[in-house]
Amino acid sequence: MAAPSKNEALEITAVRRADGESRTLAASLPRLVLEARRIAANVIHGLHGRRRAGAGESFWQYRRFVSGEPASSVDWRRSARDDHLYVREQEWEAAHTVWIWPDRSPSMAFASHKARDSKLERGLIVAFALAELLVAGGERVGVPGLMNPTASRAVIDKMAQAMLHDDATRASLPPSFVPSALAEIVVLSDFWSPMPEIRTMLAGLSSSGAHGTLIQIVDPAEETFPYSGRVEFVEPEGGAVITAGRAESWTNDYVARVALHRDEIRAETNKLDWLFSTHTTTRSAAELLLFLHGGMTVNKGGVRSTVKAGRSA
């Protein structure tokens, strides 16, 4: 077999760098699982599920009686204490489903020298830890196209095994499916997909009334474009090579293009009342986990209330 040409060798080397070089998913998973469990254990103290009003057995709170409600809903003993009528609300204990999609496509394996983890590693750590927290709070967790919803305490092991035995092409965005209206979806990706694909994904996932959160996980180099001189950029999912003679001259256009792409994603999620935020891999995984756990949908008395996203998590 003929040896690769100089250009082919450069492309192969660049692809290997872009693909995260070293560890396969099988070799990385044990470490990622341990890290996820450590972070979840640190966060879980003081968290008691995502409490909400509804049909359950545990007392949650008293609230003011609203005109038009049936008189049978009034808690007369509590109301006798002052001049207002009160309703005794119970905690909703019926588990529902949270679908978590960690992007495992080739572009997620990129990591610059300043990053704590590759984007893939960070996405998996947070996905595993979030699943652990949700199951501990009485929720069911599934992975679209990969794992049916489960409330098993071994949810991280089930997710890891499903990924290890997944032979399908690693897609950037979750497969098309219609979640139930009460379901929630969390998509962890770099979201460098074209906007038409992102719009199609959002339209499908929200068609039943489900709500969700998109987290764009990026490497610090993808935020600032710290390149100069002659640089060859390799597209990890297609292999295309682009050469910049003076890479520093691309910085302003690159940063503007990234900002525009994020604005377009945010505009789409705002239409649906979904959350969108960004997370850089130099930041803490626990920070993102707390943001996700605290910012997910809370339904109170049939009215949806959300914790609005900040710029980044």
pLDDT in tens, 165-183: 898 888 999 998 889 888 9
pLDDT of residue 248: 92
Which is more confident, 177 or 194? 194
Q: Checking DSSP bridges between strand 184-189 and strand 211-218, what pairing results, if any?
A: parallel
Q: What is the DSSP string of the chain?
A: -PPPPHHHHHHHHHHHHHTTSS--HHHHHHHHHHHHHHHHHHHHTT------BSS-SSEEEEEE--TTS-GGGB-HHHHTTSSS-EEEEEBP----EEEEEE--SGGGG---TT-SS-HHHHHHHHHHHHHHHHHHTT-EEEETTTEEEE--TTHHHHHHHHHHT--S---SSPPP----TT-EEEEEE---S-HHHHHHHHHHHHTTS-EEEEEEEE-HHHHH----SSEEEE-TTT--EEEESSGGGGHHHHHHHHHHHHHHHHHHHHHHT-EEEEEETTS-HHHHHHHHHHHS-EEETTEEE-PPP-SB-
pLDDT of residue 70: 77
pLDDT confidence bin for 15, thresholds 50/70/90? very low
pLDDT of residue 47: 56
- The residue-averaged pLDDT of 37-60 equals 64
pLDDT of residue 94: 46
Which is more confident, 209 or 263? 263
Q: pLDDT over 90 for what percent of the chain?
A: 51
pLDDT of residue 312: 56
Per the prediction, the chain carries an average pLDDT of 82
Q: Above 70 in pLDDT, residue 61?
A: no
Top-confidence range, 14-28, 165-179, 255-269, 287-301? 255-269
Which is more confident, 53 or 122? 122
- Whether the Cβ atoms of residue 289 and residue 129 lie closer than 8 Å to each other: yes
On the 0-12 / 13-18 / 19+ scale of CB atoms within 10 A, 253 is exposed
- The residue-averaged pLDDT of 66-88 equals 82
- Whether the Cβ atoms of residue 128 and residue 156 lie closer than 8 Å to each other: yes
Q: pLDDT over 70 for what percent of the chain?
A: 78
Structure tokens at 160: 């890891």
Q: Above 90 in pLDDT, residue 138?
A: no
Q: Above 90 in pLDDT, residue 129?
A: yes
pTM of the model: 0.75
- The residue-averaged pLDDT of 253-278 equals 96
- The residue-averaged pLDDT of 288-313 equals 57
pLDDT of residue 28: 82
- The residue-averaged pLDDT of 200-227 equals 94
Which is more confident, 5 or 262? 262
